[in-house]
Amino acid sequence: MTATICGTGSYIPSYTMDNHDIAGLVETSDEWIRERTGVVRRHIARDETTVSMAAEAARRALADAGTAPEEVDLILVSTISSNVVLPCAACEVQKELGAVNATCFDLSAACTGFVLAYNTAFAYLTSGVYRTALVIGSESLSNLTNWKDRGTCILFGDGAGAAVLRADAAKEPDDESEAGMAEELPGVGRKNYLPVTHSDGGKGAALTCKSRHDFNSLNGGSRQASNETMLDDTHYMQMDGQAVFKFAVKKVPEVIGEALVLNRMKPDEISYYILHQANKRIVEAVAKRLGEPMEKFPMNLQEYGNTSSASIPILLDEMNRDGRLKPGQKLVMAGFGAGLTWGAAIVEWRGCSG
């Protein structure tokens, strides 16, 4: 059994804040932010919520895949910024879509979240538990951002991306006659690539956010946080930027290398490295360490900033829609972030026929 991405979608809020807007809030400048991060603007949810963005990205992914909501067996939402604690965002998305047959749950692993959600769905599909999965990354990080902290508020943005994964019943070719069919039948001859993922809870202090808000306007728009965290601002994201930077430029190329070795692949077999979009300098450093050309490292962080678990599926959707992705291409998706967590998954692009 194998599984593949059959459709993608994304939703980006229309309201934007550029670097000049940020320079009106904290002591910084457009030049500094561009040079140190690559970010030029970010989109901010105003009327949208994590759930509404997730649902719209999901609708678009289902349309792209030609899949009806009733066909979805699993909805997984990766987020650290869900509207409420209960019910989970995935159940709310199910309600919005009418995906009545789906099992739904959320996954919280910050900026590695989409890769881990993809891996989770892939494991369910390839083991035969489910046939069709909707994997979504959606974030309203603006609600977790301290707009007085120039070390973090320059970086983040809001948005959602989604992918439909479908299991193919066809297996690895067992004999020569089956191998001959590999190009005609979906799934035949395709390899199930294994991901590599890691976590280091001992370094969790590098990126924290101590309590949740209620982002819904149901409580008159008030943001709920404990008195203690309100006093010291720890209910917002707090980050040791240099520690996270050093972690990313070391661990991301390492984990990509591990994934390639595990799957007996060489870097030149990879068409694109779709990295979590955190910082242009991190992407450039990873490319350099892998010895791979920058053309293989697409970026859109200049437009959206760091949208945590939404960044990889948003980029995937852009590349799908503008025709950069071609059937049979091998892609690496690599995430890294709070936890600390990091991981890489190899994807064969859109092998399914539907």
Amino acid (one-letter) located at 157: G
Verify binding: residue 15, ligand COA, rule CB under 6 A.
Answer: no
Helix (H) or strand (E) run with residue 26 in it: none
- Binding to ligand COA (CB under 6 A): which residues in 167-196? none
Q: How far is the CB of 141 from ligand COA (least distance, A)?
A: 10
Q: Considering 88, 91, 111, 153, which one is annotated as catalytic?
A: 111
For the chain, helix, strand, coil in percent to 5 are 40, 20, 40
Residue 26: which residues within 8 A CB-CB, separation 6 or more? 147, 148, 149, 150, 153, 154
What are the angstrom distances between the C-alpha of 100 and each of 8, 326, 344, 350?
20, 32, 32, 25
Verify binding: residue 132, ligand COA, rule CB under 6 A.
Answer: no
d(CA 348, CA 330): 5
Q: How far is the CB of 127 from ligand COA (least distance, A)?
A: 30
Give start and end residues of each alpha helix (H) in 141-226: 176-180
- Binding to ligand COA (CB under 6 A): which residues in 146-165? 150-151, 154
306, 307, 309, 341: which one binds ligand COA (CB under 6 A)? 306
Verify binding: residue 307, ligand COA, rule CB under 6 A.
Answer: no
Q: Site mask, ligand COA, residues 86-125, x = CB under 6 A?
A: -------------------------x--------------
Residue 19 annotated to the active site: no
What are the angstrom distances between the C-alpha of 35 and each of 19, 28, 29, 141?
12, 12, 10, 22
Q: Considering 43, 213, 235, 276, which one is annotated as catalytic?
A: 276
Residue 146 annotated to the active site: no
Interface residues toward ligand COA, by CB under 6 A:
28, 32, 36-37, 111, 150-151, 154, 239, 241-242, 244-245, 278-279, 306, 336-337
Q: Which residues are catalytic?
A: 111, 276, 306
